[in-house]
Structures are given as C-alpha cells and as structure tokens.
C-alpha cells in the first residue's frame, strides 16, 4: 500500500502497518513542522501578546521611548525643533539624526495610543523575524544541535532586556535585525545593499560607526562606499526644505545633545570605562577621565586588531574559516557597542547573536572545562538582574556595580579567548566538536 503526503507531494513506498490513529498523529506532526519549523516562534508570539494584554489591563502600556520618537516627529514635521526639549519623561530627549524621524512620520499622523499599538506589533514582527533569522542561520551551520530548544535558553538569558524593550518601545531590537540583514547581504555579495542598511542604522544611532574601521581592515570597499554615500544623502535630505541657515542650526543642535548625552562615560556603570576606573581606584592610581577613555579604547582596539590578524593568518591555510571569522567579529562588535558607549540597558540586546554563539561553545566544551562555568557566570551577570525577582533595593544595588556591563564584556572576552586558545587552525575545538 502507498501513502501520499499532501504538503510534500512525495509518495512513500513503505508499507503502512501502523494503526490509523498513530498515522494521523504522525501526519499532523509532520505538517506542523513544515508550517511551523520553530515552535519557539509560537511561544514568542503568545508571550508578547499576553504581555500586551497585561500592559493594557494594568494601565502600563506607556511606550515612553516610542513617545520620544513620536512627539519628536510631530514637532519636526510641523517645522519646529526636535532637539533640546523633553518628550514625555524628563529624560526623554531626542538624540538621533533628523532623517531617523522619517520612518516615524506615518505613525505621527495617528493618535498616540493608536500609533503605540501599531508600533508594538511592528516590534513583535521584528522579534519573530530576528529569532527566525538566527535560528535559520545556526540551524543551517550546526544542524546536529536542536536550536529550537536552545532558543528558549537564549530568550531566558535576555528576557529582562526584551521586557524593557517592549515596555518602553525602543528601537534597538529592530536595529539589531537591520544589522544582521546587512551581515547576510555582505556574505551573499550584495555589499551595496548591506552598506545602505548599515548607514541607516548609523543615522539612527551613531554607535554603529564602530563598524567602519573594521570594514576598512577587512577591505570591504563596496560596503564602505555604500555606507558613506547613503550617509551623505541621508544627512543632506533636510537641507532641501530647510535651507542653509535652518540646516546648520539643526545639525548644531543635534551634536550639542549628543555631547550632553555622552558626558562622563567613566561614571556610567555598564561601560568598560567604569570597570577600569574601579580597578584604578582600588589600586589608588589617579588617572584623568580622558586618558582612561583613550587607554581603554586603545586596549580594546589593539586586542580586536590582534584577533583579526590572527584570523587572517589561519584563513590562509583554510579559506572556509573566512566566513566563520567574519561573522564572529561582526557579533563581537555588536556586543561591544553598549559597553563602549553611554546608553540604556536595552541596548545590550545587541549581544543576542553572541549569546547564541556562547550556547554553541557551551554545548561543545567538555563538562570539566572551566570556560563552561565562566560562560554561565557571564550569562548570570548579563541577564539575572530581574527587578521583580530580586526586589527594587537589591536590584538597584546589583545594577550600581555594573554587573550587566561586566557580564557582557566577560562574555565577549571568554568567547574570543576560547576561539583563539581552544581551537586549531581548522576551526575545531581541540577537545571535541567542530565549528
């Protein structure tokens, strides 16, 4: 007897000896996997739909960060300045380029509550797309690992940051998705598209300028040309209707608010500068803030350059390592962005791809490896400070010593060391596993 599978269109020539009820269950399971290959996405959809309902029911659907974009867009397209005035909360200053308000223009035509609901569901689509993108990539590269299951672990590590992102209505998750799409286009040879996307991310947040020196070292000239061309075009668009004087005043206000926002980075507890400053204080070594910042930036840049040069050397003997190294360096730079800039805790979502990579390393390291336990420690520092779980007082105390930034930087450091020290020139862990 033959069986015909409707979705696949294939004929199974094996005899059907199972009971009809069991066969029906198996067919349903196969069809479910074809339509929904990753059950985590269903979980994520239901989780944030429930979160949306809970926010509405408890009158906590505020989206204060989205309010900044929304009201700044209303002001800007009404011909007023969008800089130097708080929107919503006292800290709600708009700090990004004028061109970044254009995507918010359609939403600014709606009442705020309606616009907020629309933006929430845009974030939800972005969340599902982001995880689907990461799951497809890791599933295709390392199919022996059940990534759908480990996506729950990645979400658990980052859930505190996703909670804040959806509660505040920020744009970090969508920018992360854009950067990963840019990485995909680079790997597919579509560098002009990739450069345009990276430039768009830079126009939203200047933090992503960190990728330009790396692209120069990696000699991605087409991507760089697209970045600078798109940046020039994007920055000059407001000049068309504002004129010389209005445009110069607008740019002056933008850079002024950036300078105010980035004052005293060594006092911001989640930056690398803060951690180094604490070490110097313990050692009773006086150092000025400017020298400390330059010292830390120089140390990070030289270490990252050493990693790239090491990767270049190994790629000469195994060209297949080039794409692996390129992606790893991209993930590391994404994770370093919030550690090198003064920003909110939601920006640490940029470490999500590196969280996935750390899960891969965790699985493949032997049980007795000390690196395995250091990875778990970095996960705890990065994501365990839940306000509702630890209580307000203790949570603030934990945050004040910079555990989030420390966990993020520790994760970057551990994964770079493991990749260099524990892998041979074929990209394999020396004890077991293959990248």
User: What pLDDT, on a 0 to 100 scale, did the predictor assign at position 383?
Assistant: 93
Instruction: Tell me which residue has tokens 């705890």.
Output: 380
Residue 30 clears pLDDT 90, i.e. is over it: no
Q: Count of alpha carbons within 13 Å of 137, Cβ hemisphere only?
A: 21
The C-alpha angle 285, 287, 289, rounded to 5 degrees, equals: 145
Mean pLDDT of 380-387: 90
Joined together, the tokens standing for residue 367 give 């049980």
Q: How confident is the model at residue 423 (pLDDT cuts 50, 70, 90)?
A: low
> How high does pLDDT run on average in the chain?
87
Average pLDDT over residues 114-131: 97
Q: Write the pLDDT tens digit of every residue in 40-96.
A: 999 999 999 999 999 999 999 999 999 999 999 999 999 888 998 889 877 789 999
304 vs 313 pLDDT, higher one: 304
- With 60 as the cut, is the pLDDT of residue 197 above it? yes
User: Which residues have CB under 8 Å from 403's CB, separation 6+?
Assistant: 381, 385
- Per-residue model confidence (pLDDT) at position 243: 79
CA distance 27 to 252: 64
In this prediction, residue 435 has a pLDDT band, given cuts at 50, 70 and 90, of very low
As a whole number, mean pLDDT of residues 379-396 equals 86
Q: What is the pLDDT of residues 11-21, one digit of tens each?
A: 343 444 445 45
Q: Where are the domains of the chain?
A: 1-35, 263-435
Q: CA angle 66-72-76, nearest 5°?
A: 150
Q: What is the pLDDT of residue 27?
A: 53
Q: By percentage, how much of the chain surpasses pLDDT 70?
A: 88
Instruction: Judge if pTM exceeds 0.85.
Output: yes
Distance of CA 342 to the CA centre of its chain: 16
Q: Residue 434 has what pLDDT?
A: 38
pLDDT for the residue 291: 93
Would the pLDDT of 33 be above 80?
A: no
The CA distances from residue 241 to 47, 193, 236, 237, in Å, are 44, 27, 10, 8
Please determine, for residue 317, whether its predicted confidence score (pLDDT) is greater than 60: yes
- DSSP letter for 93, please: B
Rounded to whole angstroms, what are the CA distances from 294 to 42, 184, 384?
46, 33, 31
Collapsing DSSP to helix, strand or coil, 12 comes out as strand
Task: Return the structure tokens found at 261.
Answer: 């926002």
Task: Kindly state the average pLDDT of the residues 231-241.
Answer: 87
Could you read off the pLDDT of 332-372 as tens digits, one per residue?
999 999 999 988 899 999 999 999 999 999 998 887 789 99
């Amino acid at each position: 007897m033959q069986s015909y599978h409707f979705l696949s269109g294939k004929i199974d020539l094996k005899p059907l000896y199972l009971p009809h009820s069991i066969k029906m269950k198996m067919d349903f399971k196969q069809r479910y996997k074809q339509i929904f290959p990753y059950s985590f996405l269903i979980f994520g959809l239901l989780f944030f739909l429930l979160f949306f309902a809970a926010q509405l029911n408890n009158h906590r659907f505020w989206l204060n960060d989205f309010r900044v974009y929304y009201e700044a867009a209303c002001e800007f397209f009404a011909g007023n300045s969008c800089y130097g005035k708080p929107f919503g909360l006292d800290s709600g200053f708009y700090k990004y380029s004028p061109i970044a308000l254009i995507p918010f223009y359609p939403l600014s035509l709606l009442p705020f509550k309606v616009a907020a609901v629309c933006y929430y569901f845009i974030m939800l689509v972005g969340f599902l797309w982001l995880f689907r993108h990461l799951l497809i990539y890791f599933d295709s590269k390392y199919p022996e690992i059940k990534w759908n299951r480990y996506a729950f672990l990645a979400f658990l590590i980052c859930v505190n940051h996703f909670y804040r992102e959806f509660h505040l209505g920020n744009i970090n998750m969508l920018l992360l998705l854009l950067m990963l799409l840019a990485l995909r286009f680079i790997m597919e040879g579509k560098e002009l598209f990739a450069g345009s996307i990276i430039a768009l991310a830079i126009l939203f947040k200047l933090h992503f300028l960190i990728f330009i020196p790396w692209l120069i070292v990696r000699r991605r000239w087409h991507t760089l040309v697209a970045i600078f061309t798109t940046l020039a075009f994007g920055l000059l668009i407001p000049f068309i209707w504002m004129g010389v004087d209005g445009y110069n005043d607008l740019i002056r206000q933008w850079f002024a608010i950036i300078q105010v926002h980035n004052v005293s980075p060594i006092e911001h507890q989640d930056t690398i500068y803060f951690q180094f400053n604490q070490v110097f204080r313990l050692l009773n070594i006086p150092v000025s803030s400017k020298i400390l910042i330059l010292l830390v930036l120089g140390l990070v840049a030289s270490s990252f350059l050493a990693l790239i040069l090491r990767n270049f050397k190994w790629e000469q003997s195994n060209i297949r390592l080039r794409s692996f190294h390129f992606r790893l360096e991209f993930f590391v730079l994404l994770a370093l962005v919030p550690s090198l800039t003064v920003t909110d805790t939601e920006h640490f979502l940029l470490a999500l791809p590196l969280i996935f990579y750390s899960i891969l390393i965790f699985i493949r390291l032997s049980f007795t490896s000390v690196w395995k336990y250091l990875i778990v420690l970095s996960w705890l520092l990065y994501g365990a400070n839940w306000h509702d779980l630890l209580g307000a007082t203790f949570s603030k105390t934990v945050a004040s010593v910079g555990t989030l930034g420390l966990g993020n930087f520790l994760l970057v450091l551990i994964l770079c060391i493991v990749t260099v020290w524990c892998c041979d020139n074929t990209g394999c862990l020396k004890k077991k596993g293959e990248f």
